[in-house]
Amino acid sequence: MSIHVACEEADSPSLSPPNWWAEELTNLNITFFQKIITSMKPHNPNPLTIASAIQIYAKRSLPDIKSLISNNSLTSKHKQKEILNSIVALLPAETQIQQASFPINFLCSLLRLANFLQNNYDCKKKLEKLISPCLEHVTVDDLLILCDVESVRRMVIRFMEREKNKLVMVRVAKTVDAYLHEISKDAGLSILQFNGIASLVPKNVREVDDDLYGAIDIYLQVTFPPKHLIFKR
């Protein structure tokens, strides 16, 4: 199938099932898939078409974290890192991500995998840049699955530096405080990490301090339990 025909059929209505051509691409290895998607871009295909193909390929080719843990093979992890790096390289630039309409939980799942596989910094940096402008639509669960406090901190900093709409900032602030409330239960969370998240929200954006104080209270109880509990036998 030529690239020109692929673009026409991908963007035009037909009697074929939706995304049939994208399903076919999942049979290719990552090198050929990357070449085809890259070759299609100069023909100005519908951004949603490219986004759909990338998502389908990623879901078919990348395992979940549990599968990687059960298959603790260095060869397997190296292959998955290669696939993930290639898929992230195909994602649009930060300024085009809204047009492509990638689901935020899809981007978060890629970043979670990148953190787990310890992919190179450029891979994680691009994903963080793509997620950051969309933080208004991120849930606490989306942030928790990342399992990386530093990733969250960098994304929120970038968001707060660039966002001008106070209502949007307030919504994100509530999500950040709710996230802080959840991670404060982790005994392994350092005081620097806790403070790094707690100080992200500007004072003029945080409408109420209840969640913040609640998180502080939980963190102190978990990290510095009462002496009578420490020495109790």
CA distances from 175 to 35, 120, 122 (A): 39, 28, 26
DSSP letter for each residue of 36-67: HHHHHGGG---HHHHHHHHHHHHHHHS--HHH
Q: What is the total residue count of the chain?
A: 233
Residue 99: per-residue pLDDT: 57
* Sequence-distant (≥ 6) Cβ neighbours of residue 48 within 8 angstroms: 100, 101
Distance in angstroms (rounded) separating the CA atoms of residues 129 and 229: 44
22-41 as b/e, with b when 16 or more CB fall inside 10 Å?
beebeeeebeebbebbeebe
- Pair 164, 170: CB distance under 8 Å: no
pLDDT mean values, one per 10 residues, the chain (233 residues) = 43 49 84 92 84 91 70 75 94 72 91 90 94 94 95 97 94 96 95 95 89 94 71 45
Domain-wise residue ranges, the chain: 163-233
193-213 as b/e, with b when 16 or more CB fall inside 10 Å?
bbebbbebbeeebbeeeebbe
* Sequence-distant (≥ 6) Cβ neighbours of residue 28 within 8 angstroms: 36
Residue 93: per-residue pLDDT: 82
Residue 109: per-residue pLDDT: 94
Residue 219: per-residue pLDDT: 95
Residue 24: per-residue pLDDT: 84
Residue 21: per-residue pLDDT: 75
The residue written with tokens 């059960």 in the block is: 70
CA distances from 201 to 40, 114, 152, 178, 196 (A): 42, 26, 13, 12, 10
Residue 5: per-residue pLDDT: 39
